[in-house]
Structure 1
Amino acid sequence: MSKIWLIVDDLNYSPRSKNAHFIYPMLLRMVYGCGLRINEALTLQKTNLNLNNGIVTVKKAKNNTTRMIPMSESLTVYCRYYVKKMVFDMDKEGYFYPAPDGQKYNSGSILCGFRKVLREAGIIASDSTNPRVHDLRHTFAVHSLEKMVSEGQDIYCTLPILQTYMGHRDVESTEKYLRLTSDAYSNILNSTTTMYHDVFPEVREDE
């Protein structure tokens, strides 16, 4: 993630997309920092953000749900910086991430730009599967679980909180993030062994 921030924070102005060098750093930070689905972020209206209390309201998301998401203080501060650079009137309707024509960005266009950022950051998949913008949402979930466990929180209590924050319909959708490698996240696996030892079996290398 540090490599990604270094690249997006150093993007140059482009006449073809004059605000892209402001939009990409903000968009990727919000997808990662709030665990948003990419289309949830791209459909955000300026009026969906309350930067006084750091709350993002995601309306008509997957399963036709609406949820309110508190942002970290650092992300809220960055949002205010972004609003200043974009010269936004936050009381007026309009996309928070406007495409060059003022309409909603196409997620495919964002993916192309994201892959360029990954190449420049030297983040290349070892197989044919390239990282997606949506994978930042997965990274958010994994990092959140790791942080909560490292702070000594009960994983049994924190999973429903993460479920609600991410907009999952049920906790089973959130539990998939416990399928981690024991080498990288042994602290999470150890904390869940007694609860899920029959749920997540060992995976052979050839699987």
Structure 2
Amino acid sequence: MYTDAEITALLAAALSLPPANALRRWTYHCLFGLIAVGGLRHSEALDLRRDDVDLDQGILTIRETKFGKSRLVPLHATTVAVLSDYAARRDAHLVAPRSPYFFVAEQGGRLLHQYVHRVFWQLSRQIGLRQRGQRNGPRIHDLRHRFAVQALINWYRAGEDVERELPILSTFLGHVNVRDTYWYLSAAPELMAHAARRLDKRWEVRS
């Protein structure tokens, strides 16, 4: 699972993408950052249209996703500020007609999945997360996994009832069934340790 330092390094590396005066570096910096802090599927982030990003209210509308459902995703004020800055740079960079998509390629067209993955692989090699020629390694989708796992860890650390809170995370992630979200409980050693301690306490109470 990604560490905070690795995500910071990834986003910093995106800002070093050439050329220096292009929109490209800001596009990938904001795209990967939004996936990391919003828990979006990368396809959902690429499919965002301008009208889906309400920067005044700080809400994303994710439409017709993996399971044909739509949902609203609230944004932190710091995320709104970064996206607002990107939108201003994008609009200053492009000439009419405007693309309907929020994240765009250098000439204003839609970002293509294969190019996004290629840039991610390049950046992950640059910061040491992937060796050159390595087929396996970190994926863009792992940013979403990290978001979910970190949310669960934070709840455990705060003493929250995770089973009660799990449907909230499930809805936020766009899962059809809560059981799909339970998978994340086994995704990190710290989560397993928290879960084990919670079970131990329940057994102590019953005995």
Does the alignment reach a TM-score above 0.5?
yes
Answering whether residue 124 of structure 2 is matched by residue 118 of structure 1, we say yes
Counting only pairs closer than 5 Å after superposition, residues 43-54 of structure 1 correspond to structure 2 as 43-54=47-58
Number of aligned residue pairs: give it: 190
Where does residue 115 of structure 2 map in the other structure? 109
For residue 54 of structure 2, what is the amino acid of its counterpart?
Answer: N
Task: Check 1:34–1:181 CA distance in 2 against 1; reply closer, same or farther (3 A cut).
Answer: closer
TM-score for the superposition, normalised by structure 1: 0.82
From 18, 23, 27, the counterpart of 1:23: 27
Segment of structure 1 superposing worse, 148-157 or 68-77: 148-157
Answering whether residue 145 of structure 2 is matched by residue 138 of structure 1, we say yes
Post-superposition shift, 1:93? 6.3
For residue 50 of structure 2, what is the amino acid of its counterpart?
Answer: K
Could you tell me how far apart the structure 1 residues matched to 2:86 and 2:125 are?
Answer: 25
Could you tell me how far apart the structure 2 residues matched to 1:192 and 1:24 are?
Answer: 40
Answering whether residue 157 of structure 2 is matched by residue 153 of structure 1, we say no
Post-superposition shift, 1:85? 1.2
TM-score for the superposition, normalised by structure 2: 0.82
Could you tell me how far apart the structure 1 residues matched to 2:20 and 2:161 are?
Answer: 47
Counting only pairs closer than 5 Å after superposition, residues 126-205 of structure 1 correspond to structure 2 as 128-182=135-189, 184-185=190-191, 187-190=193-196, 193=199
Post-superposition shift, 1:128? 4.5
Answering whether residue 59 of structure 2 is matched by residue 55 of structure 1, we say yes
What are the superposed Cα offsets for residues 129-178 of structure 1, whole Å, 9 maximum, x if unpaired?
Answer: 22111111111111111112222211011111000000000011101000
Where does residue 94 of structure 1 map in the other structure? 100
Structure 1 unaligned segments of length 5 or more: list them. Answer: 196-207
Could you tell me how far apart the structure 2 residues matched to 1:114 and 1:138 are?
Answer: 16
Task: Check 1:73–1:52 CA distance in 2 against 1; reply closer, same or farther (3 A cut).
Answer: same
Segment of structure 1 superposing worse, 156-165 or 128-137: 128-137
Post-superposition shift, 1:180? 3.2
For residue 21 of structure 1, what is the amino acid of its counterpart?
Answer: R
Task: Check 1:103–1:12 CA distance in 2 against 1; reply closer, same or farther (3 A cut).
Answer: closer
Task: Check 1:49–1:117 CA distance in 2 against 1; reply closer, same or farther (3 A cut).
Answer: same
Could you tell me how far apart the structure 2 residues matched to 1:33 and 1:104 are?
Answer: 22
Counting only pairs closer than 5 Å after superposition, residues 65-104 of structure 1 correspond to structure 2 as 65-87=69-91, 94-104=100-110
Where does residue 14 of structure 2 map in the other structure? 8
What are the superposed Cα offsets for residues 96-120 of structure 1, whole Å, 9 maximum, x if unpaired?
Answer: 1112453322211101100111111
Post-superposition shift, 1:22? 1.1
RMSD, aligned CA: 2.6
Could you tell me how far apart the structure 2 residues matched to 1:192 and 1:93 are?
Answer: 50
Could you tell me how far apart the structure 2 residues matched to 1:185 and 1:124 are?
Answer: 25
Structure 2 unaligned segments of length 5 or more: list them. Answer: 1-6, 202-207
